[in-house]
Structure 1
């Protein structure tokens, strides 16, 4: 049995679906089972990352765990990994696969977003349970935040629009997780994950425009303006500052392409163009 936390999000729900398709017994953890929408094959259990007792019950009989934690800005978020790791150790779970972030490749990273995930990785290591970390960079689904301005104005407003990153489809992250959860030999490994090509935002929008059959213009917003706008939209301040730091790292790790999707998922990573074609209706 595999337990998936964060099971209703864009990555967790894909992990649940792909495990189910592979005929693997899967249990989905959620605070509100009645609101969850899974196929009948999925066992849905109630649990809260702040409540170790609920986690112990959810982990009963679990062999492997996929740990996807909430945004680090959540109150008490730094204790969630400890709660889950301790409950997993008590349940004698055999393997934890934790979703982390690409910037955690640098163990000295100081921005709060990365520090949150590095703390989580430490808690998992300290549990004594065999572990694997998956470290993706930018998600292709981040582009969905452009949908309204693309539809209404034919433009995208972003800071650091010239800097290249190698965005990854969340479905590919899930496929890597499933590959690790259903095979051996990944213990003690941390895999950086990326899409198959490094693209800046202008190039991503060119792909999207070709799929939509119309031109999309890009406005390169000053970082301080973008920061103020994101804070006004009630994003946590530490998350905003962390994301801006990574977006502005012109020659850093987020622009690198890694081979691990094909290695772990058994197929090539999807391109941004393929993702855009599948999600074109969101921008029309």
Structure 2
């Protein structure tokens, strides 16, 4: 039995689907099981409710640890790993973030680092996945593109190794189901460095339509976030991340997807073509 936490999100849903297709017994953990439709045993689990974690972990052989971004990740990771240790779970795979443990000044890496350290120190066989920017992040442009509005660019020409979440899920599945990836930390990127203008240009070609782009100063973006109800401290952290990308801090590529899967990572163009409908275009 394999437990997948965060089972209703972008990565979790795909991991559950792939495991089920392989014939694995899957338990999907979510805080709201009534609304979940997954090919798995769906159970309630809340990282802040130890009894629910004990119930979710009982009898499983492997756990996929996935949590929504935020300062609660450390607390949630340590709670889950305590349950993993208590129940003698043999294998754990953690979804972390690119740059974790590096002196980047970004919060995401700090959120994940305590959990990574605790995972390595525990008895379970472990694998850590540190993905770069998700291709699916650009889905929030879809309504703008369909309305003919310009796509905002907060990162200038700063490029990233944008990765298809399906590749992340596939790496997670092989790490959960085979012993070949134990003790490995994978930095997962796509096959090419892409800036926001690069991604917009790819969408123009794939969708066959004009898409405008507009540079947005970070001060303006911060003010917009706060006006939309975001905490100023959160907005400051988000802007630090955007500045880091703009200055080339996340311009890295690795071959770790190929090392784990035996094939190259999917391109952003492939992802975009497969998600044409989300941008209002019929599939080719």
Q: TM-score, normalised by structure 2?
A: 0.91
CA, structure 1 residues 83+8, in 2 after alignment: closer, same or farther (shift >3 Å)? same
Q: State the secondary structure of the residue aligned to 1:66.
A: strand
Q: Where does residue 8 of structure 2 map in the other structure?
A: 8
Output the CA distance in 2 between the equivalents of 1:211 and 1:248: 28
2:215 to 220, 226, 239: 220
2:45 to 27, 34, 47: 47
Q: Where does residue 18 of structure 1 map in the other structure?
A: 18
> Structure 1 residue 256 and structure 2 residue 249: aligned?
no
Q: Where does residue 199 of structure 1 map in the other structure?
A: 194
Q: State the secondary structure of the residue aligned to 1:185.
A: helix
> Structure 1 residue 278 and structure 2 residue 274: aligned?
yes
Q: Deviations over 1:121-156 (max 9, x none)?
A: 223234343321100010101101111211112420
1:125 to 106, 120, 129: 120
Tell whether the 8 Å contact from 1:198 to 1:255 is kept in structure 2 after alignment: yes
The residue correspondences of 1:155-194 to structure 2 (distance < 5 A) are 155-194=150-189
Output the CA distance in 1 between the equivalents of 2:230 and 2:91: 33
2:54 to 40, 56, 67: 56
Q: Deviations over 1:199-258 (max 9, x none)?
A: 111010000011111221211111111122233334555554444333323565521111
Output the CA distance in 2 between the equivalents of 1:96 and 1:161: 38
CA, structure 1 residues 211+133, in 2 after alignment: closer, same or farther (shift >3 Å)? same
Shift of 1:194: 0.5
Q: State the secondary structure of the residue aligned to 1:254.
A: coil
Runs of 5+ unmatched residues, structure 1: none
Shift of 1:188: 2.3
CA, structure 1 residues 229+57, in 2 after alignment: closer, same or farther (shift >3 Å)? same
Output the CA distance in 2 between the equivalents of 1:224 and 1:251: 16
Q: Deviations over 1:65-116 (max 9, x none)?
A: 100012215xx5431111100001001011110000002151x444322211
2:90 to 55, 70, 94: 94
**Cα-Cα RMSD:** 1.9
CA, structure 1 residues 239+176, in 2 after alignment: closer, same or farther (shift >3 Å)? farther
Output the CA distance in 2 between the equivalents of 1:258 and 1:192: 7
Tell whether the 8 Å contact from 1:47 to 1:54 is kept in structure 2 after alignment: yes
Runs of 5+ unmatched residues, structure 2: none
Tell whether the 8 Å contact from 1:105 to 1:192 is kept in structure 2 after alignment: no
Query: Please, which moves more after superposition, 120-129 or 92-101?
Result: 120-129
CA, structure 1 residues 115+199, in 2 after alignment: closer, same or farther (shift >3 Å)? same
Output the CA distance in 1 between the equivalents of 2:231 and 2:129: 24
Q: TM-score, normalised by structure 1?
A: 0.91
How many equivalent pairs are there?
279
Output the CA distance in 2 between the equivalents of 1:213 and 1:187: 44
Tell whether the 8 Å contact from 1:103 to 1:253 is kept in structure 2 after alignment: no
Tell whether the 8 Å contact from 1:101 to 1:135 is kept in structure 2 after alignment: yes
